């Protein structure tokens, strides 16, 4: 049994520092690097690609809505054409930094509100999937398990990675509970470890109603701006490895 562990990184901006990137690089296998719209900037992108390469991580672009103040977590109304062009713009920028450092861009994972909208809205999902394919057809598209984004990726011929969240509460439809709702974010190490083991070993996740739904994840996400996130990931890795789960980046043909 193998699982990828990814985290959203490169989310600092100018003089403002966000996250624990240096510590996270030691415990994750894939890095989703912000592309300057919801977070990050050209200097942070350059530095983050360089450090991710140094730590032998699989590198992905993490495009989001142009919403620095809301950290990309607020819905924006954009046409499919605008979303397509917005993703092209951001992925292209990160790909350029990858080329600069002679490392391959491996995947694309939308951020925040864009990700959540793509999980439900087929037109948003298709725009993201098409942009990803047009940038590079052998990129892996990360999306919420059993979501519209996964289906859109398959439809255009992309390899997809079904993603589950270690620290988020799920509803009965397999969507993430909105962050504004009570207990939407798991805060204790025990709850996070329990959820991860259920997802990876049992292929199911407990919902906010207390029921369980089926889920088959290829990759686990941790939020780079989460409290003590690197220590949490380290603990999760240890527990998974004790349960004979191999931690490794995704390969083509999963």
Q: What is the CATH number of domain 2-247?
A: 3.20.20.370
* One pLDDT digit (tens) per residue for the chain, 254 residues: 899 999 999 999 999 999 899 999 999 999 999 999 999 999 999 999 999 999 999 999 999 999 999 999 999 999 999 999 999 999 999 999 999 999 999 999 999 999 999 999 999 999 999 999 999 999 999 999 999 999 999 999 999 999 999 999 999 999 999 988 988 999 899 999 999 999 999 999 999 999 999 999 999 999 877 778 999 999 999 999 999 999 999 986 55
**Residue 236, SS3 per DSSP:** helix
pTM attached to this predicted model: 0.95
What element of type H or E holds 155? Answer: helix 148-156
**Is the separation of the CB atoms in 158 and 136 below 8 Å?**
no
Nearest to 71 by CA among 37, 110, 118: 37
> Domains of the chain: which residue ranges?
2-247
**Residue 162, SS3 per DSSP:** strand
pLDDT value, residue 252: 67
Percentage of the chain lying above the pLDDT 90 cut: 93
Distance CA 129, CA 84 (A): 8
């Amino acid at each position: 049994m193998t699982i990828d562990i990814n985290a959203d990184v490169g989310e600092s901006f100018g003089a403002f520092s966000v996250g624990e990137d240096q510590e996270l690089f030691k415990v994750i296998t894939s890095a989703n690097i912000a592309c300057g719209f919801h977070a990050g900037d050209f200097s942070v992108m350059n530095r983050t690609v360089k450090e991710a390469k140094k730590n032998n991580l699989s590198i992905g672009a993490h495009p989001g809505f142009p919403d620095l103040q809301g950290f990309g977590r607020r819905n924006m109304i954009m046409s499919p054409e605008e979303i397509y062009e917005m993703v092209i713009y951001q992925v292209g920028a990160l790909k350029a930094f990858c080329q600069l450092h002679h490392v391959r861009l491996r995947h694309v994972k939308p951020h925040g509100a864009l990700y959540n909208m793509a999980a439900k809205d087929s037109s948003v999902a298709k725009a993201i999937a098409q942009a990803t394919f047009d940038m590079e057809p052998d990129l892996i598209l990360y999306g919420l398990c059993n979501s519209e984004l996964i289906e859109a990726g398959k439809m255009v011929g992309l390899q997809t990675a079904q993603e589950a969240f270690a620290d988020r509460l799920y509803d009965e439809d397999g969507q993430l509970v909105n962050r504004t709702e009570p207990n939407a974010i798991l805060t204790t190490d025990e709850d996070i470890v329990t959820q991860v083991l259920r997802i990876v070993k049992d292929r199911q996740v407990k919902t906010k109603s207390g029921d369980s739904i089926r889920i088959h994840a290829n990759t686990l996400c941790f939020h780079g701006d989460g409290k003590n996130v690197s220590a949490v990931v380290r603990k999760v890795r240890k527990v998974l490895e004790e349960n004979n789960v191999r931690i490794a980046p995704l390969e083509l043909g999963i």
